[in-house]
């Protein structure tokens, strides 16, 4: 029975640790922590808070993609379409419709939900690579629509800037970066909680079972199409919420938000963190964003410039370094960062093994 109690207590311990981590992140803007090479300056400075807030938004976006790819097993190449709908939808509602912030958020939320449900309803008629290609087609259509700038709504290649007329003062300006940081942290926590709730729900169990063996799910009388559609719609609308927060943080939206390249970046993040792990998506998003930002500074540093050409040329390309790291993770850490942590935990105790629990109950 001792192992049974340990198994039951583990989720409580994990949530307590998560609460402590969130509490630490909440007070981070009030501290003067400085990690050279990782952060551009002390944690209370606007530049550092902006980077940390952006990394949390990418982590939240990766979590929404985790629902589709990690839980449902659906390889979508168009997930950032809903992220772009959030950013551009809120920007258009504020600038061209003249709405207050809250009505603009509600309108954009409904638009994101409608598009995600419509695209999912059509895309899920096919499976496998055909599904991936259909989602890619919708994303490309969205990217073209943004570039064509219909009715002068999207700003075309120049992008769309945030109209702050109806945005509260505490969310506008460099001096308010601390408030935007807390907003991004709140969005990450909300997305994580929604993702956790869905995975533990009946629909989450059904869609996970469908990922493993769809035929068996059909045999027991469950229609997996509607459950997969629900998962797709929830993932899409969560991405829309993250996109709206992105616009408030960055004060602008560009065409690349709806590009297939951005979705491939999400795929890399999820694989880096660990496919199937919620914490993997969060860790992958934060690590990738920090690496992407800081490797640019490293590539242009004097230390790299002084190296021989055979080293200087590849190391001066941040994408080369990121690509190399991704290949190493795939080859040597197939479970990603979270997978390594999970294996270490299981190596210390076998309390997570259901067979051990059954033995104790028996």
What architecture is domain 2-361?
Orthogonal Bundle (1.10)
What gap in Å lies between CA 71 and CA 63, rounded to an integer? Answer: 10
Q: How confident is the model at residue 183 (pLDDT cuts 50, 70, 90)?
A: very high
Quick one: the chain helix, strand, coil %, rounded to 5? 80, 0, 20
Q: Which helix (H) or strand (E) segment is 161 a member of?
A: strand 160-161
C-alpha torsion angle, residues 97, 100, 104, 107 (rounded to 10): -90
pLDDT computed for residue 113 by the predictor: 96
pLDDT computed for residue 243 by the predictor: 96
- Tens digits of residue pLDDT in 215-257: 888 888 888 899 999 999 999 999 999 999 999 999 999 888 8
- Tens digits of residue pLDDT in 10-36: 577 777 888 888 999 999 898 888 887
Pairwise pLDDT comparison (355 vs 189), residue with the higher score? 189
């Amino acid at each position: 029975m001792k192992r049974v109690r340990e198994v039951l207590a583990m989720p409580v311990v994990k949530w307590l640790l998560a609460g402590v981590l969130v509490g630490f992140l909440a007070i981070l803007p009030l501290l003067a922590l400085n990690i050279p090479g990782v952060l551009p300056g002390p944690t209370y400075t606007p530049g550092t808070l902006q980077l940390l807030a952006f990394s949390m938004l990418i982590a939240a976006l990766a979590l929404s993609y985790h629902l589709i790819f990690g839980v449902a097993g659906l390889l979508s190449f168009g997930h950032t379409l809903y992220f772009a709908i959030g950013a551009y939808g809120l920007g258009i509602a504020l600038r061209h419709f003249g709405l207050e912030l809250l009505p603009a958020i509600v309108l954009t939320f409904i638009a994101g939900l409608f598009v995600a449900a419509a695209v999912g309803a059509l895309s899920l008629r096919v499976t496998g690579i055909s599904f991936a290609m259909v989602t890619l087609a919708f994303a490309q259509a969205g990217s073209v629509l943004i570039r064509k700038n219909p009715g002068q709504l999207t700003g075309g290649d120049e992008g769309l800037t945030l109209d702050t007329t109806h945005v509260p003062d505490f969310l506008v300006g460099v001096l308010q970066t601390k408030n935007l940081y807390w907003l991004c942290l709140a969005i990450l926590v909300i997305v994580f909680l929604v993702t956790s709730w869905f995975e533990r729900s009946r629909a989450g169990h059904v869609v996970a079972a469908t990922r493993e063996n769809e035929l068996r799910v059909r045999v027991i009388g469950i229609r997996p199409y509607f459950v997969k559609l629900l998962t797709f719609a929830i993932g899409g609308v969560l991405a829309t919420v993250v996109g709206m927060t992105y616009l408030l943080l960055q004060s602008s939206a560009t065409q690349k938000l709806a590009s297939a390249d951005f979705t491939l970046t999400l795929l890399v993040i999820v694989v880096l963190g660990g496919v199937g792990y919620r914490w993997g998506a969060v860790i992958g998003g934060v690590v990738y964003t920090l690496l992407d930002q800081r490797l640019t500074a490293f590539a242009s540093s004097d230390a790299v410039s002084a190296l021989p050409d055979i080293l200087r040329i590849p190391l001066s390309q941040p994408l080369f370094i990121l690509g190399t790291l991704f290949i190493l993770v795939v080859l040597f850490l197939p479970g990603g960062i979270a997978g390594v942590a999970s294996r270490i935990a299981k190596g210390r105790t076998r309390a997570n093994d259901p067979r051990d629990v059954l033995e104790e109950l028996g």
